[in-house]
Amino acid sequence: MQALSEKTSKPYNLNFFCHTPPAVDFAREATWREALSPYYAEFGIDPASIASGPGRQPFSAEMADLLDEFRPAVVSFHFGLPSAELLARVKACGAKVLSSATTVAEALWLEANGADAIIAQGLEAGGHRGMFLTDELSSQLGTFALLPQMVQAVRLPVIAAGGIADAAGVRAAMALGAAGVQVGTAYLCSDEASTSAIHRAALQSPAAQHTALTNLFSGRPARGIVNRLMRELGPISPHTPAFPLATAAIAPLRTQAESQGSGDFSPLWAGQNVTGCKAISAAELTRELALGFAG
C-alpha cells in the first residue's frame, strides 16, 4: 500500500478475500494426498515433507488498521463481506464497498448487508468464483443472463464481469444495464501483470480455448485453462481440503513442474474469452476498453 500510494495520488481499489478459514481436517488431507501420490512419486517428492499451510488469509482487523492509514477510495471483497464490525471499519475510513455476486440471491444479500455496488460475476469469468451463499455450480449463470436479472432485482449499481474483453463487450454490458465493467483475463498478458511466462504462453496458445471450473488448486471453484492435473483427476474433486488449504498439497508439484517449464500442475487462471489478452501496457488496454463507454 505504501508503494501504491507513493506512485499515485489518484483513487485506487484494494481487494480482499473474506472467507472463514477452515480447521485442518487430517483425514481429508490424507485422502487428498493419496490421490496425488502418483504425482509425488513421479517427481520424487516425500508427501510427509509437505506442511498443511494456512493459505490465503481473509480480511482481518490488522488489514483494517492499514485501511485507516491509507484510506483507499474503494475496497472490494470476494466471497461475501467481512463481519459487520469489520465492514463498519472499512466504511468509516471512507471507502466505497464492492463485492462479487454470482446469483441474484447473493446480490440481494450484498445489498441488504451494506455493499455500495455489486459485481455481477458471470460464469465465464477467470479465477475464483465469488459464490458465497451456495456451492451448487449449476446455480451459476453466464454474464448476459445474470446481469439483466441482477439489474432488475437490486437498486445498487451493478458492475458486469466475465467474458468482457474489448470495447464491444463493454458496450454490450452497458446496454444490458451495467453501471460499469470489471475485466480480469484481458489484463493477464499486460506489461505490468505478474503472470508467469508459463501462464502467459498458455494464455496465448490454443489451449486457452478450453477452460473449466476447478477446485483442485485451492479447494474452491475457479476457472482456469485445462491442464494435465485437471484432465487426469477431473476438474472438480470431492476430496480436496477446504479453501484455501488445498493450495499446500499442490505447491511442490507446481514448483517442480514449473522448473521444467511445464504448467501441468499450475493454476492457469483464465476466463472463457482470452481474445483481449495482449502484450501491451495496462493503460493502453484500459483506453481501448474505455472506447466502449463512448457509445
Residues that bind ligand FMN (CB under 6 A): 15, 76, 78, 100, 121, 124-127, 161-164, 182-186, 188, 269, 271, 273
Minimum separation from the CB atom of position 256 to ligand FMN (A): 22
Identify the sign of the CA torsion 180, 182, 186, 189: positive
Helix (H) or strand (E) holding 172: helix 167-175
Identify which of residues 122 and 252 has a Cβ nearer to ligand FMN in the complex.
122
Q: 163 or 263, CB closer to ligand FMN? A: 163
* Minimum CB–partner distance for residue 132 and ligand FMN (Å): 12
Looking at the Cβ atoms of 265 and 269, the one nearer to ligand FMN is 269
Nearest CA to 183 out of 292, 71, 57 is that of: 292
Residues 6+ apart with CB under 8 A from 286: none
Least separation in angstroms between residue 97's CB and ligand FMN is 13
Three-state secondary structure along 124-169?
CCCEECCCCCCCCHHHCCCHHHHHHHHHHHCCCCEEEECCCCCHHH
Cβ-based nearer residue to ligand FMN, 36 or 242: 242
- Give the nearer residue to ligand FMN in terms of CB position, either 183 or 249: 183
Q: What phi and psi, each to the nearest 5 degrees, are found at residue 206?
A: -60, -20
3-state secondary structure 62-84: HHHHHHHHHCCCEEEEECCCCCH
N- to C-terminal Cα separation, the chain: 35
Cβ proximity to ligand FMN, 39 vs 244, nearer residue = 244
Minimum distance from CB of 13 to ligand FMN (Å)? Answer: 10
State the minimum distance, in angstroms, from the CB of residue 26 to ligand FMN.
28
Provide, rounded to whole angstroms, the least separation between the CB of residue 260 and ligand FMN: 23
What cell was used for 211? Answer: 477452460
Tell me which residue has its CB nearest to ligand FMN.
184
Q: Please give the backbone phi and psi of residue 9, each rounded to the nearest 5 degrees, phi first.
A: -105, 5
